[in-house]
Amino acid sequence: MKTCLVNTDNLNKSKARSTDNFVLLVISGCISLGIFPFVILRVLQEDYAHAAMNAVAVFITFVLFLHAYITKKSDLTRTGLALLTVIVMTGTIFLKGAQNIHWVYPALTTTFFLLRPKFAATLTLTFLLVVLAMIWQESSPLFLLTFSITATATFLFCYAFSNRMRQQAQFLEQLATTDPLTETGNRRKLEEKLLEITQRIKRNDQLSCSLVIFDIDYFKQVNDQHGHACGDEVLKRFASVIKTRIRVTDSLYRLGGEEFVLILEDTKLFEAKSVAKQLAFEIEQTQWHLKDLRITTSAGIAEYETGESTYEWLERADEALYKAKSSGRNKCRASNENVA
């Protein structure tokens, strides 16, 4: 029976804007619209230095907005907004004095929201030291002490909260993209990886990549004769054997049931078939938790061809797998051959 495959090209065609990217668009857009009235106000007040700084901030923020909107990428916009926030706040305090010190607190929270905790901590700590140096002469000891305590408390809270949220996000991401039984990538992670590879090859057709679909032979009989707990142990051991024998640049995913997909980057078809045969031999020679248990695997191999969709790539490998199973199992077939 042929594998049911998801057409991952729907993701490629829609390429829906991420929540993270949408939030950055809202932030950058609001900053541009929010600062613009101050440009006019400063000009009317003949405060040209402050007006020029605000005008530059509006321009840069709008450019970052366009970049996030057009490319749907967030890293440059995040870094740019954080740096701009710190620079503008520093400039404001330098031009207007300690009475604008309250802008430090939103600058701290914004920077930690936009950047990784360690990078944000380094940037904001430098920012606070510069601000203290600027207001040192014009402020009373009590004011400096009050500011130092409140700014430090805000800094520590932002760092702790940002670090906690990032750890939680990484944990949730792992749950969403990892098969809990075999600890391999799941179908969603596979789809993301395939899209990443095909886009990379479309930019540089000199690159190559092959994938192998493995199917554990007669796995239903294992469940029927020895129970599902035994079947789970076979799946975990199967994945472990393959993961310990592939390169760090290769990646293994559980497609569903007893089927796994191995992605071999920078690997031609004939090389991928050689790897698949070696892994199939290792599986056949593996000692399982039951002495009378013998496990073999069939494999279908396909190299990505420029211009095809991820679905077509997977489909060719699946057809090769079907031929391997039809010809007696425990065989490896490439997509371009009819004989093992």
Q: Which residues are identified as catalytic? A: 258
Report residue 88 as tokens. Answer: 């503008």
Q: Nearest to residue 267, comparing CAs of 243, 248, 250?
A: 250
3-class state of residue 295 by DSSP: coil
Residues 6 or more apart whose Cβ sits within 8 Å of residue 79:
114, 115
Task: Decide if 112 contacts 159 (C-beta within 8 A).
Answer: yes
The strands making up 297-303's β-sheet, listed across from edge to edge, are 251-256, 259-265, 209-216, 297-303, 332-334
To which H or E segment does residue 259 belong?
strand 259-265
Q: Give CA separation, 198 vs 11, 207, 222, 303, 308, in Å.
A: 13, 10, 36, 11, 9
The gap between the terminal CA atoms of the chain, to the nearest Å, is: 19
Phi, psi of 254 (to 5 degrees): -95, 115
- Mind giving me the DSSP string for 146-195? HHHHHHHHHHHHHHHHHHHHHHHHHHHHHHHHB-TTT-SB-HHHHHHHHH
